[in-house]
A and B are shown apart, each in its own frame.
Chain A
Amino acid sequence: MSIVKNVACPVCGTLCDDLEITVDGNRVIGTKNTCAVSEAKLLNFSDPGHRNLKPLIRRDGEMVEVSWDEAIKRSAQILAEAHYPILYGWSCTNCEAIRMGIALAEEIGGVIDNTSTVCHGPSILSIQDVGIPTCTLGQIRHRADLIVYWASDPYSAHPRHVERYTAFSDGRFQHSEWESYVARLRGVLGKKRLSRASELTLMKDIPLPAVTGEKLPPSFRTGKRKLIVVDVRKTRSAEHADLFLQVEPNKDFELLQALRLLVKDEELEVNEIAGLPVHLLEEVADALIGCSFGAFFFGVGLTMSSGKTRNIDAAIALTQDLNYRTKFVIMPMRGHFNVAGANVVSTWQTGYPFAVDFSEGYPRYNPGETSVVDILSRGESDAGLIVASDPVSNFPREAARNLIKQPLIAIDPVASPTTVMADVVLPSTFVGIETEGTAYRMDRVPLPMKKLVEPPETCLSDEEILRRILKEVRHLKEVRGET
């Protein structure tokens, strides 16, 4: 039995790197510092029921086991013959595999796109429009006295975010508000003993009435950390907040614009905006200006609600405006553990973060045209390669239908609707569990992913599979005299 320390978690963009994993006989038997989500993955990843273990090829409608050589050859054939292949996924693998994927896309004149195309794509387009004032998460831990989660519920989607980087983390200039939270909790729960309260872990669901009244709570008059949650419904995170602002659905843009005006000391001629009283918003604006370091985090709730890019433009513009008055930063809450890495690698190799089209012999980028969902919706592609992703379940129906009509290669450690529909299934390994490599945290801090156990002998890493396909594609082209 051995304990591996300082393990980075291969689940969400929080990319906690303090996990301690107990390994016994090539199995993970214990975890420490994990949240429920990561614990579930780390303990259950090797469940043989879901695992792809052998290369498979569809023959006469049936999936049959074949050798690696044959599966690679078939994959290379499909890709080399295609006129406009798409390569999609990339946010749950390492940067080494992404690099290889880009080389392959270039070689076959295909389109390479990653999952940000369906989550924070609008955020990226906004950044390309106006820029972004941001920072690494440690800056927030050390300095932020005002933290706002907007359309993002960290307790569900990024369970340790608050504890590691924001309201309940300890920094040089700001301290965890866990204790005062506990104190408030005590006030609320009355008779419960403090010892009980301090035993509670952050993961436990503790209902605490968040302030939704018309005045800011007294904590806003101190220099301590304050947590605001803005959302359309009362999420778990909202229950932990000093202030919860319940915005009417699809009114985020109005609320952001109102705050922009208030921050610029302009008066609003109405009593209510987005379901919130203006005099409360005036106080919120004062709090935004009055803090010494503020941070906005926003989730897909903002990028996917009506307005999309417009919402993010407004949120970033508000942050930029606030920098004339104080220090303020903003950051998208990225989902998969290496979705940021997919953008980063794509950008340094091709100049563009996603939706890169090599069909002209150089990188071209025009989201809406060169993004995979749009290509599929128009039915333009004629082959697909999917890495560690499940577009058959996640894409709009028309796109998914076109995807399974064409020859489809799936590289994935686990079975999914996509691998079930694929014509070639290439069983890969779990990055961060069975394969090492680099991943980028949501603030684009690179972290090394560890190998904890040996992968099944019949599985290869994404990078190795792609390397072999690329080699075979080059070989095929040579044979045909195309190079």
Chain B
Amino acid sequence: MRELLVKNGFVYDPLNNIDGEKLDIAIRDGKIVEKTSNPKILDASGMVVMPGGVDIHSHIVGAKVNSGRLLRPEDHSKDVEYKTPVTRSGVGYSIPSTFTTGYRYSRMGWTTVMDAAMAPLKAKHTHEELNDTPMLDKGSYPLLGSNWFILEYLRAKEYDECAAYIAWIMRATKGYAVKLVNPGGLEAWGFGRNVRDIDDPVPNFDITPREIVQGLCRVNRMLNLPHTIHVHANNLGKPGNYVTALETMKCVEGQAGDGKPVLHLTHCQFSSFGGRDWRTFRSAAEEISEYVNTHNHVTLDLGQIIFTDTTTMTADGPFQFILYQLTGNKWVNCDVETETGSGIVPFHYKRKSFVHATQWAIGLELALKTKDPWKIFLTTDHPNAGPFTAYPKIIAWLMSRKARDAVIDRISKRARRRTVLDEIDREYTLSDIAVTTRVGQARSLGLNRKGHLGVGADADIAIYDINPQKEDLPANPGRIEKAFKNAAYTLKDGEIVVRDGKIVKAVDGRTFWVNVKTTPSSIEIEPELQKVFEEYYTVKYENYLVNEDYCKNSDPIVIKPKI
């Protein structure tokens, strides 16, 4: 029996309505319990205690991320990690090697991270890398928005078959959630084209992005999957695209029966662009947050811009091609048969660029104008808008007007004149921060064991060295940043793995995936699937499947569908 008592911390556990009260947290065998009998004591007095951080959208592993690593030796040599008796060595500023990724998250107090995208055909690669990403519980989302089987099922309105297919592909890839990237557009990109809006039919497939989003939303609900569909909208990164984002959210309004979210719009900063072109480019954060404030069927994450040299990488091949044209930087494209695309372009966000500075403001406007932190989560779409290691900086911007003003003073004058960010007084509380960086994300993911400190929860805990009773945090953003950068302690499954921002113990973490138990009456699609499989793919059906032993610590979430 391993027992630990975290004593006297200021506890932030919003799910259980605990807002900075001085409490003890009892832990036994990796779980939070009512009481312990003979525990070791961890003195957290004068410090903030929160559930471990949760990241709903971060590109940390897999084929595309690794191509990004390959592409950027210059990114690595400036940021290295030495081998220590407990940790492996590594490199990488915007795209760290796998071990380094795990350690850096853990040092900030993060304990669960979801990789945002995997091509099902390359799912084994994702899992091999997840196995080499220590310190974290994790999962990954298969890319399904341009998958031929799905386009065909949805075109024929065969929702039951589509549901059976999604259940199958979650098992086949050991995937966690349904990911759509530029729905339909990536199939068009197979021939170098794109779709223009959500009603522009996909070439050769006679289906529109709207039908794909609506169809997958419906199927996702039929299957009762823990997370909603996770959508990277069409027209990402283009002026005026907020209209597409609004239409994407609106098109599933009708499916929001029980008041629960049914769609997650990811890295919404990149989808909140106003204007007609780059000259008239403006923030449309107002329009997006207005919509989100009046609707409960969506959640968002930010994709907050950091002024730095980073690496953009998405499955959105046509978007990456535009970035390549805009920047003239090096460019990787890798389309995956029958499923998806991907692209990579190094990118430097500059304070003095009107467009980049406006993007920076859009992210913060979205976070501050969206009233409910349960609806909008902190991410950088790592590494697209900046590396995840910038989270402490963003937390400081959210909590401190002073921190924001300091940046506003130094950005492009044109962007400064046009943003309303300097008129916003709102400052996030520590409880808001807990929600936007972990609690809300865990809820959106349907991870009931994460994001809270109630009895039965996994004892994944972050302890930060700030005293909310003594310190005026908004006046001291530097303190906020420093405290979140180096957690005083990180606990993973009840063990102290980080002390004073240093890894003291390396642990593996689990891989979550969704195992949908299909009911006996459900439709058998596998024989048909096997029949056409070889026409669709250059690998054999058997060799496509990811066996469970590909996950070092497999942790299937068993789901009973509604059908």
Contacts and interface: CB of A to CB of B under 8 A. Distances in A.
A323 B85 contact: no
B132 A137 contact: no
Contacts of B92: 351
5 contacts: A99-B132, A135-B335, A345-B128, A347-B69, A365-B76
B398 to A, nearest CB: 31
B321 to A, nearest CB: 7
Contacts of A343: 70
Contacts of A292: 191-192
A349 B204 contact: no
Interface string B25-69: 000000000000000000000000000000000000101001001
A6 B97 contact: no
Contacts of B63: 444
A6 B541 CA distance: 9
A6 B71 CA distance: 33
B70 A362 contact: no
Given A128-B73, A135-B334, A138-B338, 13 more contacts: A17-B540, A131-B345, A132-B332, A142-B338, A143-B191, A164-B538, A172-B148, A327-B192, A347-B69, A349-B98, A350-B97, A362-B83, A365-B76
A329 B125 CA distance: 22
Interface in B315-347: 321, 324, 329-338, 344-345
A362 B89 contact: yes
A363 B190 contact: no
A361 B83 contact: yes
A130 B71 CA distance: 8
B122 A127 contact: no
A137 B338 CA distance: 11
A349 B97 contact: yes
Contacts of B148: 172
Contacts of B196: none
Given A131-B71, A131-B331, A134-B333, A348 B192 contact: no
A95 interface: yes
A326 B192 contact: yes
Interface stretch (A176-184, A213-221, A445-453): A445-453
A103 B92 CA distance: 18
B69 A351 contact: yes
Contact of A348 (B97, B540, B547): B97
Q: For chain B, what secondary structure do more than half of its interface residues adopt (helix, strand, loop), or is it mixed?
A: mixed
A352 interface: yes
A128 B68 CA distance: 10
A8 B538 CA distance: 12
Interface string A357-399: 0100111110000000000000000000000000000000000
A335 interface: no
A75 B236 CA distance: 55
B278 interface: no
B426 to A, nearest CB: 40
Contacts of B472: none
Nearest to A165: B538
B332 A133 contact: yes
Interface string B268-301: 0000000000000000000000000000000000
A344 B80 contact: no
Contact of B124 (A138, A164, A438): A438
B101 to A, nearest CB: 10
Interface string B534-546: 0111111111000
A362 B91 contact: yes
Contacts of A141: 337, 538
Contact of A17 (B82, B88, B539): B539
Given A128-B71, A131-B344, A139-B190, A350 B91 contact: yes
A106 interface: yes
Interface of B: 61, 63, 66, 69-73, 76-77, 80-83, 85, 88-92, 95-99, 121-122, 124-125, 128-129, 132, 148, 190-192, 204, 321, 324, 329-338, 344-345, 535-543, 547
Nearest to A135: B335
Contacts of B541: 6
Contacts of B543: 6, 8, 17, 447-448
Contact of A347 (B66, B331, B345): B66
A320 interface: yes
B321 A323 contact: yes
A350 B337 contact: no
A26 interface: no
Contact of B70 (A136, A172, A347, A440): A347
A290 to B, nearest CB: 13
A358 B89 contact: yes
A350 B90 contact: yes
Contact of A136 (B124, B204, B335, B345): B335
Contacts of A136: 121, 334-337, 538
Nearest to A15: B539
Interface residues of A, number: 62
Interface string A63-78: 0000000000000000
A95 B191 CA distance: 33
A353 B330 contact: no
Contacts of B344: 131
A165 B539 CA distance: 11
Given A137-B337, A320-B331, A348-B69, A438 B128 contact: yes
Which residue among A135, A361, A438, A447 has the maximum number of chain B CB atoms within 10 Å of its CB?
Answer: A135
Nearest to A328: B192
Contact of A135 (B73, B128, B129, B336): B336
A34 B71 CA distance: 35
Interface string A448-462: 100000000000000
Given A329-B335, A358-B89, A365-B77, A130 B70 contact: no
Contact of B73 (A106, A142, A351, A448): A351
Interface in A140-169: 141-143, 164-165
Nearest to A138: B337
Contacts of B73: 128, 351-352, 365
A127 B332 CA distance: 8
Interface string A325-347: 01101000000000000011101
Contacts of B77: 364-365
Interface string A103-140: 10010000000000000000010011111111111110
B332 A348 contact: no
Contacts of A106: 83, 88-89
A483 B540 CA distance: 47
B90 A444 contact: no
A293 interface: yes
A24 interface: no
Contacts of B190: 139, 142-143, 293, 327
A129 B89 contact: no
A467 B101 CA distance: 24
The 9 A-B residue pairs with the shortest CB-CB distance, nearest first, are: A138-B337, A327-B192, A131-B330, A351-B91, A446-B124, A135-B335, A133-B333, A131-B331, A351-B76
A348 B82 CA distance: 16
Contact of A323 (B69, B96, B99, B192): B192
Contact of B191 (A128, A165, A293, A364): A293
Contact of A363 (B89, B321, B329): B89
Given A127-B70, A173-B204, A445-B122, A351 B539 contact: no
A18 interface: yes
Nearest to A109: B83
B97 to A, nearest CB: 5
A349 B99 CA distance: 7
B411 to A, nearest CB: 29
Given A131-B330, A351-B92, A138 B537 contact: yes
Contacts of A143: 190-191
Nearest to B80: A362
Nearest to B193: A327
B129 to A, nearest CB: 5
B539 A445 contact: yes
Given A139-B190, A351-B69, A352-B73, A363 B90 contact: yes
